[in-house]
Amino acid sequence: MSERVTVDPTDCPSWSVLRTEADRMRQKSIRSLLRGDREFLRINAAAMSFDFSRQRLDAAVVDSLIQLAEETGVRQSIDAMFAGNRVNGTEGRAALHVALRSGLEDQYAVDGNEVAEDVHGVLERMETFAEEVRSGAHRGATGERITDVVNIGIGGSDLGPAMAYQALRAYRDPNITCHFVSNVDPADIIDVLSQVEPEQTLFIVASKTFTTAETMINAQRARAWIVDQLGDGAIGAHFAAVSTAEQHVHEFGIEPENVFGFWNWVGGRYSLTSAVGLSTMLAVGPACFRELLDGARAMDIHFRETPLADNAPVLMGLCAVWNRNFMQMSTSAVLPYSRDLARLPAYLQQLTMESNGKSVRVDGTPVTYDTGAVYWGEPGTNSQHSFFQLLHQGTEDLCSDIIISARPTASDQASGAGVVDQHDVLIAHALAQASVLSVGLTRGEVAATGVSEDLVPHKVMPGNRPVSVIMMDVLTPFALGALLAAYEHSVFVQASVWQINPFDQWGVELGKKVASGIVDDIHRRQVEDSELDPATQKSLAAYLARRDEASS
């Protein structure tokens, strides 16, 4: 995106057309739209189906959205990203996470250098290490087998692996349990350490620079725990690292053969398919991890090669632009009808909001239109008894993604009779919610049920809440990889239309810097002469007073 001329999307002819189309669509209901031919809004890609038929738009709107994509250079942006161009302009980097799941025959290059050999070299080293741990060839310092893996990371080094570990429950090795430590709150690592035995625990410290404050504080605490229990000589057997900072890793005491690198063209929130996925590979095995990569690659190929109008991630992204900019919806719910996908909404919060939470275009000029929406959600059916009341009858219009699988996993089906029937009930709930959110229930329909007149308005469901239904056959590693890649590319499409950089996160960096200064102030116990604003100085002084009073 940084390598082409920036345009203001509101100056594009299609933007004005879409504003007019939005006025027209507000006069139509999703219920009425569903009476027409909506097949053009159902797309199959990478063994998944994407059903956008419950969106509040028609063929004319889609045509205008495709025109907007063309006018804002979405296709050129896609080509630039896959070509390894420095599309992350503020950091002067490529964003070539698609190369992480490439085949050796795929020709991905950064600055003219082919990357496939390096990518597969790291992947093969990961596989060797994972097999050694899983087979018992790699053991703890006392000769015990590794039974627990603790991933220490934050942001993309935590959310992806933690989400994938839960999502792939049916494929996990029962002899290995993974734990995830991310929060600098000491309760996080204290809780995990209380559940594991040092002789049987492997820690993975995931930090590209090996300086991330929260990660290194937790890593040092884990290191001290191992040294206290097993001695300094145990570090090599009980720690691995995902990092490129060889000197820092060496000083920590981690053996070179247990260090797995990745590249500055891999952003944290796009890094699950890199060495950051080591804990996932340890849990499910190299073969399943390869299937995850294959699923992502299949969606990458679809995204790169399919015309815009038939492209699932493109339409996914354009629906998001339509709902955000023309239907004025500021929030989007992610509703996986799968307990195994419970961490997906949190993962997508980072992917979408860290990527597209921007108010400046790639050329440094301020945007004059809305960009990234707020993403949030919980799995169904629990969420139906939590916040669905607001979704159905609240004053805030919002859109939703409902994610379902046609079948339970094979291991769940094998667990006993009735599983398929129970899964049918789950999917019935999902489709019912998709229907009620989009179609609603009119005053006449409520009255026809015999409800008293004074109760009728309380039971009306306005509908017209757009819903996309994403369906996979079954939640496999392949399906998970394809699903995640679809969201990655949808986010990229939105950013391309909005002319923003989805690969930096300067809003995150400043808070880290200020926090470091406050830590120094706490250690010096100097509040009044700090460079903090007056309100923060008062809060810091109050904290120190309360802390000291409690400890005296």
Do residues 515 and 217 lie in contact, with contact meaning Cβ atoms separated by under 8 Å? no
Q: DSSP character for 170?
A: G
Nearest to 312 by CA among 55, 81, 41, 66: 41
Task: Mark whether 138 is an active-site residue.
Answer: no
d(CA 490, CA 304): 12
* Number of other residues whose CB lies within 10 A of the CB of residue 328: 10
How many Cα atoms are found within 13 Å in the side-chain-facing hemisphere of 247? 1
Task: Mark whether 512 is an active-site residue.
Answer: yes
d(CA 506, CA 503): 10
> Which structure tokens are listed for 66?
């495709």
Nearest to 119 by CA among 302, 300, 295, 273: 273
CA dihedral 213, 215, 218, 223 (to 10 degrees): -110
DSSP 470-502: EEESS--HHHHHHHHHHHHHHHHHHHHHHT--T
DSSP SS3 for 336 = strand
Task: Mark whether 538 is an active-site residue.
Answer: no
Edge-to-edge strand list for the sheet holding 148-152: 177-181, 148-152, 201-206, 239-242, 259-260
Strand partners, 149: 178, 202
Strand partners, 110: 113
Phi, psi of 138 (to 5 degrees): -95, 120
Burial class (CB in 10 A: 0-12, 13-18, 19+), 429: middle
d(CA 476, CA 112): 35
d(CA 549, CA 551): 6
Looking at 214, 291, 354, 488, which residue is catalytic? Answer: 354
Nearest to 363 by CA among 113, 58, 3, 59: 3
Looking at 105, 117, 385, 549, which residue is catalytic? Answer: 385
Residue carrying structure tokens 């994610």: 403
Active site residues: 354, 385, 512
